[in-house]
Amino acid sequence: MNHAHSQSLFARAQARIPGGVNSPVRAFRGVGGDPVFFREGSGAWLTDVDGNRYVDLVGSWGPLILGHAYPPIVEAIIDAARRGSSFGAPHAGEVEFAEFICGTMPAVEMVRLVSSGTEATVAAIRVARGFTGREHILKFEGCFHGAGDPFLVKAGSGVETLGLPDSPGVPAALAKLTLTAPYNDLAAVERIFAEKGQDIACAIIEPVVGNMGVLVPKPGYLQGLQALCQKHGVLLVLDEVMTGFRLARGGAQEVYGLKPDLTTMAKVIGGGMPLGAYGGRADIMRKVAPAGPVYQSGTLSGNPVAVAAGLACLKALAAPGTYARLEQVSRMLEEGFIAEAKAAGVPVTVNRVGSMLTVFFTAEPVFDYTSAKTSDTGRFGRFFHAMLDAGVYLPPSQYEAAFVSLAIGEAEVAHVLGAARKAFRSLGQTG
Ligand code: KE4
């Protein structure tokens, strides 16, 4: 494939934008080579600035569950923009949107809209601290909750000790308030709660992890975490930025029968426009200003154009058979990847929940950070580029989830699996 225009744009971008990208994962550092610049998306397909076409299995990291330029969403954006892009004042759409979210997720009794997943998770932590009067939080290794200071923390010397900054600029004094436990390990949570439970405001978790590649909760794990939180007065914050309205209309909390105290959302709920949300128990959410003392604000929060796009997206997802179709196509891809890797003699582990899946280049089962790290990232990089050259756009990192959209049909599945056959076989020969 010719990438001349992408390469010239990337050279210009690096002169004025850190790393040439507006978000680090886009820079292909996890797979090598230079990022591709895109010109347009339509349905399941992306076209880059050199005219190369790809089946898109990233979907802007989750939001584009209906595919690119889904006509009802485009029309909703145009219609809203024609009536003004922002008021900085209440409008009817945000009331309808809040009622839709709360009507779909029973645990979300009240909701506040923001403009990104990071805003939602940072706000949820502040509300949990404000509501409980406690300062520590618990997160889980491999889970990512956006670029907020409380989350840019790596596990201390023992994974269950005080956090250490995982980025310059995060104060050590703040990082040590973040405790970390391995995902899928209830005993670790019990030990932490026994020692520090009374100091912990909340436990925040990706119910199905997408940011380590896909990690699937072991049977009973999430329900056990919820019970431990209730026992110790620790609020449970489900970060459904990726899973919300993707795994089911009611998100992971519907799939796993959970009733979290707070839920964070973004991605799908914005239909590709900047929109995030946090919500949950009314007694907790009434602590949020101006109803209560916990301050949080945003100039473009509940923006009418973003809300119009989000409503159009969520209404389309309410159509009968939506999630059955997503499951059917995602299973075809999962089974095809497994079969093609096996035929080529390449050991892989494929983790999938609904329309989120990851092909890990390891023969080991992958259920937490440590086991995910047994993956051969060099091999993943070679697989990624072989797929890219064959017209399939995978997430440019072994430790990210691929997302299946409703725009992907049998023809696109055949295209992806045909590319995978060649890519696995090339690995089988070259390693
Ligand atoms: P945003 O601030 O990027 O809208 O959302 C942060 C966030 C919060 N919680 C979860 C579970 C998330 O996955 C994310 C963001 N996900 C990444 C993908 N790994 C977005 C892509 C990027 O960082 O550019």
Q: What is the pLDDT along the chain (431 residues), one digit of tens a residue?
A: 999 999 999 999 999 999 999 999 999 999 999 999 999 999 999 999 999 999 999 999 999 999 999 999 999 999 999 999 999 999 999 999 999 999 999 999 999 999 999 999 999 999 999 999 999 999 999 999 999 999 999 865 544 456 777 889 999 999 999 999 999 999 999 999 999 999 999 999 999 999 999 999 999 999 999 999 999 999 999 999 999 999 999 999 999 999 999 999 999 999 999 999 999 999 999 999 999 999 999 999 999 999 999 999 999 999 999 999 999 999 999 999 999 999 999 999 999 999 999 999 999 999 999 999 999 999 999 999 999 999 999 999 999 999 999 999 999 999 999 999 999 999 977 66
Residue 242 Cβ inside 6 Å of ligand 1? The answer reads yes
Amino acid letter, 38: F
**Does any ligand 1 atom lie closer than 6 A to the CB of residue 206?**
yes
Alpha-carbon distances, residue 253 vs 93, 151, 158, 223, 367 (angstroms): 25, 22, 30, 10, 19
Ligand 1: residue of 26, 211, 273 to mutate (most ligand atoms within 8 A of CB) is 211
Q: What is the pTM of this model?
A: 0.97
* Edge-to-edge order in the sheet of strand 45-48: 38-42, 45-48, 53-56, 392-393
Supply the residue whose CA is at minimum distance from atom 24 of ligand 1: 23
Q: CA-CA distance, 312 to 73, in Å (whole number)?
A: 5
Q: Is 163 in the pocket of ligand 1 (CB under 6 A)?
A: no
Question: If we measure between CA atoms, which residue out of 199, 208, 147 comes closest to residue 178?
Answer: 199
* Cα–Cα distance, 174 to 150 (Å, whole number): 7
Residue 405 · residue 64 · CB < 8 Å: yes
How far from 293 is each of 237, 280, 284, 368, CA to CA, in Å? 20, 17, 11, 38
C-beta 266 within 6 A of ligand 1? yes
Domains and CATH numbers, the chain: 4-69+320-430 (3.90.1150.10), 71-317 (3.40.640.10)
Verify whether ligand 1 is closer than 6 Å to residue 399 (CB atom).
no
Taking the centre of ligand 1 as the mean of its atom positions, its distance from the CA of residue 117, in whole angstroms, is 6
Q: Cα separation of 162 and 103, whole Å? A: 39
Amino acid identity at 9? L
Nearest atom, ligand 1, residue 121 CA: 8
Tokens of 28: 């292909």
Q: Write down the pLDDT at residue 160.
A: 47
Nearest-CA residue for atom 5 of ligand 1: 117
Sign of CA dihedral 410, 415, 420, 421: positive
Testing ligand 1's pocket by substitution, the residue of 58, 122, 139, 241 carrying the most ligand atoms inside 8 A of its CB is 241
DSSP 8-state secondary structure symbol assigned to residue 364 = S
User: Quick check: CB of 415 below 6 Å from ligand 1?
Assistant: no
Beta strands in 135-268 (DSSP E): 136-140, 153-154, 164-165, 178-181, 200-205, 235-239, 262-265
Whether ligand 1 lies within 6 angstroms of the CB of 244 is answered as no
How far is the centre of ligand 1, averaged over its atoms, from the C-alpha of 413 (Å)? 26
User: Are the beta carbons of 352 and 328 closer than 8 angstroms?
Assistant: no
**C-alpha of residue 307 to centroid of ligand 1, in Å:** 19
Which residues are registered as beta bridge partners of 213?
211
What's the count of helices (H) and strands (E) in the chain, helices before strands?
A: 14, 16
Tokens found for residue 310:
């989000």
Give nearest CA residue, ligand 1 atom 6: 146
Which whole-number Å values give the CA distances from 70 to 41, 76, 120, 163, in the listed order?
A: 10, 10, 25, 42
DSSP state of 153: E
For residue 147, give the H/E element and its range.
none
Q: Does residue 278 have its Cβ closer than 6 Å to ligand 1?
A: no
Select from 145, 208, 353, 394 the residue to mutate for testing ligand 1; criterion: most ligand atoms less than 8 Å from CB: 145
| The pLDDT value given to residue 334 | 98
Residue nearest to atom 8 of ligand 1 (CA): 145
Say what the pLDDT of residue 156 is.
58
- Report the separation in Å between the CA atom of 329 and the middle of ligand 1, taken as the mean of its atom positions: 24
Q: What integer pLDDT is reported at residue 159 of this predicted model?
A: 41
Using a 6 Å cutoff on CB, does residue 243 contact ligand 1?
A: no
**pLDDT score, position 163:** 72
Atom of ligand 1 nearest to the CA of 119: 2
Both tokens of 426, joined, read 């090339």
Contact 210, 242 (CB under 8 A): yes
Which pLDDT belongs to residue 139? 96
- pLDDT of 237 reads 99
Residue 135 neighbours by CB distance under 10 Å: 11
Structure confidence at residue 431 (pLDDT): 66
CB of 240 closer than 6 angstroms to any ligand 1 atom: no
Radius of gyration of the chain (CA): 21
* Position 165, amino acid: P
